[in-house]
Structure 1
Amino acid sequence: MAMSEWKPLVPLCAGAAMLLLDVTVVNVALPSAAAELRAGFTELQWTVDVYVLALAALLLGAGSAADRFGRRRTYVVGLAAFGAASLACGLSPAPGALIAARAVQGVAAACLFATAPALLDQTYRGRARGFAFGVWGGVSAAAAAAGPVVGGVLTHYLGWRWIFLVNVPVSAAALVLALRLFPRSARDPRRRLDLLGTGAFAVSAGALVYLLIRGGAVGWTSTAALVLLAVCLLALVVFALVERRRAFPVLEPALLRRKPFLGASVAAVALTVSAYSYLLYVSLRLQTHDGLSALQTGLVLAPLGVTAMISALLRGRSPDHPPPRVPIALGLLLIAAGALVMLVAGTSWPSVLVGTAVTGTGTGLVSPVLAATAIGAVPGDRAGMASAVNAACRQLGTAVGIALFGAVYARHGLPVLYAISAAVGITGAAVVWPLLRTARPGRPRTHPIHPTGPRAPESRSRP
């Protein structure tokens, strides 16, 4: 790719880095924030939880809005809102203000996560498309693992507020670049927003994520947990009934009958459960048992992000791209192998270093291909929907995995977590292999596009 063809990747990768870092970057800064704001434990939990709740619950709605109003516009709005919310977080005078700002951050993150793959899909094609998705996927995987490291460094040297304030200039720069580099993407004024479907999914996903986050604390069979489960299931039934009757649903049920799309969704869940869900508990073990600091622990886990970036870039630069099921299945098997390394070699930091390096290699193979495969399985005007569904599967997989692993860790410790991770990776590879049999690296285009990179300049005048 020529240097000019790199430019559209910058705002997209910046958005991915910010939104995924902010899932975990807060954890190591919570004690400092609590001391300064005089926040209680419940308020600290909400600072973390409300971001994940908003992000997971509104992803489908953001994807539908992107198809209706244009992906460029939705992404730009997301960048502006994320920067403003980050500033509000950094200047928060009280716990309530911080929680409210984090909720807005989550909404903005949903706009970014739901639209970025669709923007990549409309901007690149051919080898450039594979490389672009490789870079974006590598950055995403690295950012997901780098939160504790970044949070530890910023909190130690600059203070907890800077974990949010650092997003402000990044958001502003990415916003300027997005406005300059992305042509106005197609809009469908006839497409009505599915507010009822969006609301039903948001309630169902929100209740599920909150149940998974708080279930261990309140008791899985408590009245509160059972009420949350009932709300989740009822809202899911309403969502399914609504989507069957909508002319412009937020999720077309017919898409789930497309095996490549379903396979990419299953792989997204398997990826996040097997690769990321145990990291929190590994971090706790290294700090409480091995005596490592937060910064040292982050450095031990850093190979996951580094090898993910390297493998994603190497695959993107390869002139030959096999069918998507090959890197996805191989990547899930490598993730399982990384977990098995730690299961066999033990939980000391050297074995974690090696195991996460192997796992990172697998995630670097899977992450870039997932979104491209999901988008490639649907018509072009449903790219935002496909991108949002795949992102929602990843976020819900993370929430499910963390909750499941938390319950197991409390009783059985890390070895069983590694065994579960390996089992999920192997099972995921076996399930997606037949589902992705007909999946292809790209989708035939119905609009003009530059043969090797971004769209030609004349496409910028498109309404």
Structure 2
Amino acid sequence: MTSPASASPASSSREQKLVLAIAIIASFVSFLDGTVISVALPAIEADFGGGISVQQWAVDAYLLTLGSLILVAGSISDTYGRLRVIRWGLIGFGITSVAVAVAPTAEVLIGARLLQGAAGALLVPSSLALIMTNFRGAAQAKAIGTWTGMTAGAMIVGPVVGGLFVDLASWRLAFVINVVPIAVALWLLARLTQQDVRLPDAHIDAISAVLCAAGLGGMVYALIEAPLYGWGHPQIWVPAAMGVAAFVAFLWRQHVATRPMMPMDLFKARNFAWGNLSTFLVYGALSLNGFVLAVYLQEQAGLSATAAGLASLPITVIMIALSSRVGALAGRIGPRVFMTVGPLAMAAGALLMLAVDEDFDYWWQVLPGIVVFGLGLTLTVSPLTSAILGAIDTSRSGIASAVNNAVSRIAGLVAIALIGTIVGGQLDLNGFHRAMMVTAALLALGGIVSWLGIRNPAAPGSGEEPA
């Protein structure tokens, strides 16, 4: 077997194409599953019952393990090899996808989603690491751009294809659409001739991973089930207290550990710290909006799963059309104004959806808000990522990206856990309006935080302080 550095140009080119295809497919299936679930939630609840709580757990079980393990997944990849870990992740994701599809009860489905999130956590960091290992310079930037663009396609494919399966066959089949791309990725892995890359000094901080998962799990359980039992019930306040204690212990360990899972000194960089706070607010709002819109459009407005999946399609179209131009402008002007105006525009889009009424009309009540929301999201995403990663030395870009990814997943986890409290236990018209107002408030806070905290980097060689 050969390494990328020692391969001939022709062999290297072939290997790079294989590596890029594997990285794209491995990440695609993880993102795809996160979008498929939204349109399948009403059908899942119709089969299993349990109301909005079951729907929350169907989403949050995946996000819980994904968000808490994605930080440690990078060190697992370094310890055991990127190719091996991607293979483990793909096989695990395929098996758990089938387990979700055949789940006889809600409890089995939720358990399978927990395992699926753990498998998904192995895929994204290892995919990026594989690209970083096999590409250099301009080729690396182009490969990452291709990876980003192709994986973003999951935003289009997931809701539409998932909706078609729900409407024409069964929600269960929507979860096995991953099996074919997983099989292709495993076949491509078998064709690679390069040696796997392992770092001899890699360290897996298993204690931090357990503390993080236990902390988030306890708090999320309490948030989801509190509307049913009340905060005074021991079944709520005991796991909540244990979760808070475990998460505090996790943060303490990150301060004192020799090789922490989440190096806290990263947050000494101003744009990294404020950018992640903005990420938490913005991505929490995105998850809340996506969940509520997909479920309400089916359960209350009477749209089919396919139509509900298509309802948010304009957002993705706008992002594909304008993201590169926004990224270029933000590179010249700086990210601060984009990270301020973008979330505020999204907040306006969420408020426009307060026009939704009992006499439902997508074109006049939802579409205008969707378009404004999409424009705001396009203004936000690329500058936000650039500001956060640009604040950290390139040698630490991997862990910085992993931390930001984890923050966005945890934000979605918490927001969805709070849905029962936000909508009052039932996603009727009043609940939908309350959710849109909370979404708008979170986004407005995200814009304000960005204006107060983010600083534009000084022009190279200017000798000026960041603006």
| Residue pair 1:325, 1:439 contacting (<8 A) in 2 also | no
User: Per-residue deviation at 1:250?
Assistant: 0.4
User: Per-residue deviation at 1:171?
Assistant: 1.6
Work out which of the residue numbers 406, 409, 430 in structure 2 matches 1:395.
Answer: 409
Alignment of 1:352-391 (within 5 A): 352-371=366-385, 373-380=387-394, 382-391=396-405
Q: CA RMSD in A?
A: 3.9
Aligned residue type for 2:66: L
Is 1:83 aligned to 2:101, yes or no? no
- Cα distance in structure 1, aligned partners of 2:419 and 2:459: 33
| Residue pair 1:139, 1:309 contacting (<8 A) in 2 also | no
Is 1:192 aligned to 2:192, yes or no? no
Call closer, same or farther: CA 1:220–1:314 in 2, change over 3 Å.
Answer: farther
TM-score if structure 1 supplies the norm length? 0.78
1:54-89 CA distances to partner (integer Å, 9 max, x unpaired)?
Answer: 212212221332454455554443233222332444
Flag structure 2 segments of 5+ consecutive residues without an equivalent: 1-12, 461-467
Work out which of the residue numbers 231, 249, 268 in structure 2 matches 1:238.
Answer: 249
| Residue pair 2:38, 2:291 contacting (<8 A) in 1 also | no
- SS of 2:312's equivalent in the other structure is helix
Alignment-derived partner of residue 265 in structure 2: 254
More RCO (CA 8 Å, sep 6+):
1
- SS of 1:161's equivalent in the other structure is helix
Alignment-derived partner of residue 449 in structure 2: 431
Alignment-derived partner of residue 349 in structure 1: 362
- Cα distance in structure 2, aligned partners of 1:156 and 1:408: 29
Work out which of the residue numbers 287, 290, 293 in structure 2 matches 1:279.
Answer: 290
User: Per-residue deviation at 1:175?
Assistant: 4.1
1:14-53 CA distances to partner (integer Å, 9 max, x unpaired)?
Answer: 3343223323524554676688xx8564995555443232
User: Per-residue deviation at 1:258?
Assistant: 1.6
User: Per-residue deviation at 1:182?
Assistant: 11
Alignment-derived partner of residue 10 in structure 2: none
Is 1:204 aligned to 2:215, yes or no? yes
Count of equivalent residues:
438
Alignment-derived partner of residue 60 in structure 1: 71
User: Per-residue deviation at 1:254?
Assistant: 0.9
Call closer, same or farther: CA 1:121–1:369 in 2, change over 3 Å.
Answer: farther
Alignment of 1:19-168 (within 5 A): 19-26=30-37, 28-29=39-40, 41=50, 47-69=58-80, 71=82, 73-90=84-101, 98-117=109-128, 136-137=147-148, 143=154, 147-168=158-179
- Cα distance in structure 2, aligned partners of 1:167 and 1:363: 27
User: Per-residue deviation at 1:277?
Assistant: 0.9
1:237-288 CA distances to partner (integer Å, 9 max, x unpaired)?
Answer: 2112322222111011211222222133123212212333123323343334
Work out which of the residue numbers 213, 216, 236 in structure 1 matches 2:227.
Answer: 216
- SS of 1:249's equivalent in the other structure is coil
1:323-377 CA distances to partner (integer Å, 9 max, x unpaired)?
Answer: 3444433432332232233246877422312212222233334334545544444
TM-score if structure 2 supplies the norm length? 0.78
- Cα distance in structure 2, aligned partners of 1:206 and 1:15: 26
- Cα distance in structure 2, aligned partners of 1:359 and 1:400: 21
Work out which of the residue numbers 351, 354, 366 in structure 2 matches 1:340.
Answer: 351
User: Per-residue deviation at 1:437?
Assistant: 1.6
User: Per-residue deviation at 1:230?
Assistant: 0.7
User: Per-residue deviation at 1:90?
Assistant: 3.9
